[in-house]
Amino acid sequence: MVKSQSSTLIRCPLPDVYGFVVTDFVRNYPRWSPEVKQLRPLSSGPLTIGWTARQVRVDQGRRSEADFRVIALEPERRVCFKGIKDPFVITYFFEPRQEHTQLTFSFELARLTFAMRPFEKLIRFAVQDGTERVVRDLKALAERELGQKKTD
């Protein structure tokens, strides 16, 4: 198993950050995760438990396609996605910190294929780098856009 987690403080209220991540997921996810070249909902409507989507990613030059579903959704606390065929779980946790939001992003790869095992150390490094990049990019995007709403 490969697991990584990164956190950041986003200087915006929790309801706004949660909305940015969960309510506007289809619009914003490819923006804070530029490896996502295409995101297509397979379910209609807002994110709920069971909602599914397909993503096309290009990570370090490697193109992959994966379907995933929402497996947990606690308003203003967390949203969790799980690969349908691929063994990954992604969770966004939201915690209030006065008028700000502590965001924690967790990525878990349940197993590596036999062919990938010799590269486990590199994969762990790439996963850690990826979780740090997600929270950094999400923070910058959310603070810029949600902060602008306050001044408009």
The type of residue at 69 is R
pLDDT of residue 151: 47
pLDDT of residue 60: 76
pLDDT of residue 4: 81
Average pLDDT, integer, range 52-62 = 90
pLDDT tens-digit readout, 99-134: 999 999 998 876 555 556 555 566 556 656 777 888
pTM higher than the cut 0.85? yes
Average pLDDT, integer, range 31-54 = 95
CB contact burial 108-121 (16+ within 10 A = b; e otherwise): bbeebeeeeeeeee
Give CA–CA dist 128/105, Å, rounded: 11
